[in-house]
A and B are shown apart, each in its own frame.
Chain A
Amino acid sequence: MNGPVLRTYKAGSIIYFIEDKGIDIFVLQKGRIVLISESLDNHSEVREEVSKGEFFGVKSALGLYPREETAQVLTDSTVLVFNPAIFQTFCMKNSRIVLQMLKVFSGELRKVHRKVRELLGGTAEHDNSVDLLKTAEYFYKKNELEHAKYAFSAYLDSYSSSDLVGRAQKMLSLIESGHPFPIDSQEIDQELEAMNTQGVEPMGEMPPESFNNSEFDVENVMDMEIPDLGEPDAMSDMPDIPDMDNIPELDSISDMPDMPGIPDLPDIDLDGGSNVATASGEQTISELYYAGLNDFSQESWDEAIAKYQKILTMETVAAEKDLSILEKALYEKGRTHQRKGDVVNAFECFSKFVKKYPRSQTIKKAMISIGEIYEKKNDKNRALGIYNKVTQMPPKDKESILAKQRMERLGV
């Protein structure tokens, strides 16, 4: 069979029903045919008559999904029927027609996307410029520096009049001068909020020369943004880091089972587990932990910290299977303090974690966090010491590489 087949239909007959599966594609040659579908938004019936020479049934045939409309014959009609192979051959020879179809489809796609956006309204509409900047900072935090540089540059190219241009320039300068991500820099949303509500002068309005590499003092900027630390010496009140000897030695670490890549979201069984005071309607440990992760993802630091703290106070009543959640909650609490900018409490959590769970799968991450805090404290030697320890702990994974990169940046 080399070409389409000519088929005739009597008035009142149905070529295909909505929800049918079919692979044929049709072109009306003679007669009248109507396509009957349900509108998506109000479930009313939509009737659309096919023009002579018009294709129908194309999308569901090519996309291999059920028919989205019923094709009903109004008067005796003749149609050309293409199977997919013949249709493809036809398209190869008629690129102009394919181009027209592409235009129709693209118009339809735009329409559906517009409706989706309308329905999402405030819940999913974001400021794309802010999202691009967040993406750039994500790459920076993850030490994907080429990606970060690309994304910051894309931001500066595309949104040169944005309030956050200064922040992007600053971050780009930091990368180019070899500095790690300033862990306690203010979150983007906080900075925006401050600009909007407190009239804080946006960094974007600072003169560009402020970001000239030769004049740019990263430490000063970092200090400016450290919340609640007061005098620089306040850091000296931090509890001392556990002695390096308390961190597991290589021999003992090598006895550990193979450490898989450390997942960001640990695999937890939320089904069952310790059910503390359910009679009073309280959450189980696992539910609390999950809710804490959820708060973290929403950047509700205080709420997340409160939940992790509550989990940690449940230690004595926790079921065996929840012990791993206690461990994770301590790490997450540290991580949340760190994201919040509270390095003192972050340090305390990570120190406890390293002492208490030396064989944890998250040990390297906790140690790197401690190193970051030491860097913040300008204690380069201790930062180097702990990064070095991480590089020597098997297996060689992304944390080992990260620690090595941090050492290189500190000049080793």
Chain B
Amino acid sequence: MQLDGLSNKFGKTFDPGKIIFCEFEPGGDFYLIQSGKVKITKIVQDTEKTMDILGPGDIFGEMAILEEAPRSASATALDNVSTLHFNRDNFVTLMTSQPQLAFKLLTIFTKRIYDARRRLIILLLDDIQAKVCDVFLMLSEKEPNAKDLNEIVLNITVEDVAHWCGETPDKVQPVLAHWLKLGKVELYADRIHVFHLNDCRRIVSMRRKGLHE
């Protein structure tokens, strides 16, 4: 992207290891990386998890433009990072002068909307088993051959599943413990092996139909 002309006006640099923003901090800026790498992390159950490593051309923190909500993750410079940073005030100026960036943001928003709607669909289920099943299905849908899959290893913890279900881990744990005994899943500290995605599809579908009644 040819954005050099904007550097003087919107440029911001970060030294290696420097935190750019912190999870739960209120924020109104978003950033476009010009050079360097940025690590996006979240603290989950007393462990800092890396959610993504971003590089030149990537945008982060853009949710601040949309939501009043605070940062959903922390961002840290991995090396010398050069960014353009924007906020509500200069957003329109940027978008009209840099249509390629506006288009990129448009694409990001479409994905965000899809992910948020998919999450909503899980939350609308009124049964914990169906919710857990739908979490497995949602995560498996990211695979290219998702529809044909019947078995998958997901790099998630029980806490992650609970997060997606909008439940506490102690509600989700008995469901998984039951399936563990039935051989439907294997639980590890850092991953869950799901053996019968077709069963999950059936359970979710039945529960959704139930909602029509």
Which residues in A have some Cβ–Cβ distance to B below 8 Å? 40-43, 58-60, 62-63, 65, 68, 88, 91-96, 98-99, 101-102, 105-106, 108-110, 112-113, 115-116, 119-120, 123-124, 128-129, 131-132, 134-136, 138, 142, 146-147, 150-151, 154-155, 158, 263-271, 287, 290-291, 294, 297-298
- Which residues from chain B contact A136 at a C-beta distance below 8 Å? 22
Instruction: Decide if A124 touches B110 in the complex (CB within 8 Å).
Output: no
Q: A131-B24, A297-B46 are in contact. Are A63 and B102 (CB under 8 A)?
A: no
Q: A109-B113, A150-B22 are in contact. Are A95 and B99 (CB under 8 A)?
A: yes
- Which residues from chain B contact A124 at a C-beta distance below 8 Å? 163, 166
User: Nearest 6 A-B pairs (CB), nearest first?
Assistant: A63-B110, A132-B24, A265-B189, A95-B99, A119-B123, A112-B116
Q: A115-B120, A146-B18, A291-B173 are in contact. Are A135 and B74 (CB under 8 A)?
A: yes
Q: In the complex, which residue of chain B has the Cβ closest to the Cβ of A266?
A: B189
Instruction: Decide if B111 touches A63 in the complex (CB within 8 Å).
Output: yes
Instruction: Decide if A151 touches B25 in the complex (CB within 8 Å).
Output: yes
Complex Cα–Cα for A142 and B67 (A): 30
List, sorted by A's number, 13 A–B pairs whose CB atoms are closer than 8 Å. Answer: A108-B113, A109-B66, A112-B116, A112-B120, A128-B26, A135-B24, A147-B74, A158-B26, A267-B188, A269-B186, A290-B187, A294-B170, A298-B168
Identify B99's interface contact among A58, A93, A151, A287, CB under 8 A: A93
Complex Cα–Cα for A146 and B211 (A): 50
Identify A65's interface contact among B95, B114, B157, CB under 8 A: B114
- Which residues from chain B contact A128 at a C-beta distance below 8 Å? 24, 26, 69-70
Question: Is B51 an interface position by the 8 A CB rule?
Answer: no
- Which residues from chain A contact B186 at a C-beta distance below 8 Å? 269-271
Q: In the complex, which residue of chain B has the Cβ closest to the Cβ of A124?
A: B166
- Which residues from chain B contact A155 at a C-beta distance below 8 Å? 25
Instruction: Decide if A106 touches B103 in the complex (CB within 8 Å).
Output: no
Within 8 A of A (CB), among B119-159: 119-121, 123-124, 157-159
Instruction: Decide if A113 touches B116 in the complex (CB within 8 Å).
Output: yes
- Which residues from chain B contact A95 at a C-beta distance below 8 Å? 95-99, 102
Question: Is B190 an interface position by the 8 A CB rule?
Answer: yes
Q: In the complex, which residue of chain B has the Cβ closest to the Cβ of A118?
A: B123
Identify B70's interface contact among A65, A98, A112, A132, CB under 8 A: A132
Identify B48's interface contact among A119, A142, A263, CB under 8 A: A142
Instruction: Decide if A106 touches B65 in the complex (CB within 8 Å).
Output: yes
Q: In the complex, which residue of chain A has the Cβ closest to the Cβ of B96?
A: A95
Complex Cα–Cα for A298 and B168 (A): 9
Instruction: Decide if B120 touches A268 in the complex (CB within 8 Å).
Output: no
Tell me the count of chain B residues lying within 8 A, CB to CB, of chain A: 65
Question: In the complex, what's the smallest C-beta–C-beta distance from B6 to chain A, in angstroms?
Answer: 15
Within 8 A of A (CB), among B55-94: 65-67, 69-70, 74, 76, 92
Complex Cα–Cα for A40 and B11 (A): 41
Q: From DSSP, what is the main secondary structure of chain B's interface residues?
A: helix
Instruction: Decide if A270 touches B105 in the complex (CB within 8 Å).
Output: no
Complex Cα–Cα for A385 and B141 (A): 53
Q: A98-B103, A105-B106 are in contact. Are A116 and B190 (CB under 8 A)?
A: no
- Which residues from chain B contact A60 at a C-beta distance below 8 Å? 110
Identify A40's interface contact among B24, B124, B188, CB under 8 A: B124
Q: A62-B110, A93-B99, A138-B43 are in contact. Are A119 and B189 (CB under 8 A)?
A: no
- Which residues from chain B contact A270 at a C-beta distance below 8 Å? 180, 186-188
Instruction: Decide if A150 touches B189 in the complex (CB within 8 Å).
Output: no
Instruction: Decide if B22 touches A135 in the complex (CB within 8 Å).
Output: yes
Complex Cα–Cα for A65 and B110 (A): 9
- Which residues from chain A contact B177 at a C-beta distance below 8 Å? 287
Instruction: Decide if A105 touches B168 in the complex (CB within 8 Å).
Output: no
Q: A58-B110, A138-B46, A267-B190 are in contact. Are A151 and B158 (CB under 8 A)?
A: no
Complex Cα–Cα for A134 and B65 (A): 25
Q: A59-B114, A106-B109 are in contact. Are A294 and B158 (CB under 8 A)?
A: yes
Complex Cα–Cα for A96 and B92 (A): 9
Instruction: Decide if B96 touches A116 in the complex (CB within 8 Å).
Output: no
Question: In the complex, what's the smallest C-beta–C-beta distance from B189 to chain A, in angstroms?
Answer: 4
Complex Cα–Cα for A265 and B155 (A): 14
Question: Is B202 an interface position by the 8 A CB rule?
Answer: no
- Which residues from chain B contact A291 at a C-beta distance below 8 Å? 173
New A-B contacts (14) at CB < 8 Å, excluding given A112-B117, A128-B70, A271-B180: A43-B212, A62-B107, A63-B107, A95-B95, A95-B96, A95-B98, A101-B106, A102-B95, A136-B22, A150-B19, A158-B26, A263-B190, A271-B187, A294-B169
- Which residues from chain B contact A113 at a C-beta distance below 8 Å? 66-67, 69, 116
Question: Is B47 an interface position by the 8 A CB rule?
Answer: yes
- Which residues from chain A contact B98 at a C-beta distance below 8 Å? 95
Q: A95-B99, A294-B170 are in contact. Are A265 and B190 (CB under 8 A)?
A: yes
Question: In the complex, what's the smallest C-beta–C-beta distance from A274 to chain B, in angstroms?
Answer: 15
Q: In the complex, which residue of chain A has the Cβ closest to the Cβ of B25?
A: A154
Complex Cα–Cα for A290 and B172 (A): 13
Q: In the complex, which residue of chain B has the Cβ closest to the Cβ of A41?
A: B124
- Which residues from chain B contact A134 at a C-beta distance below 8 Å? 43
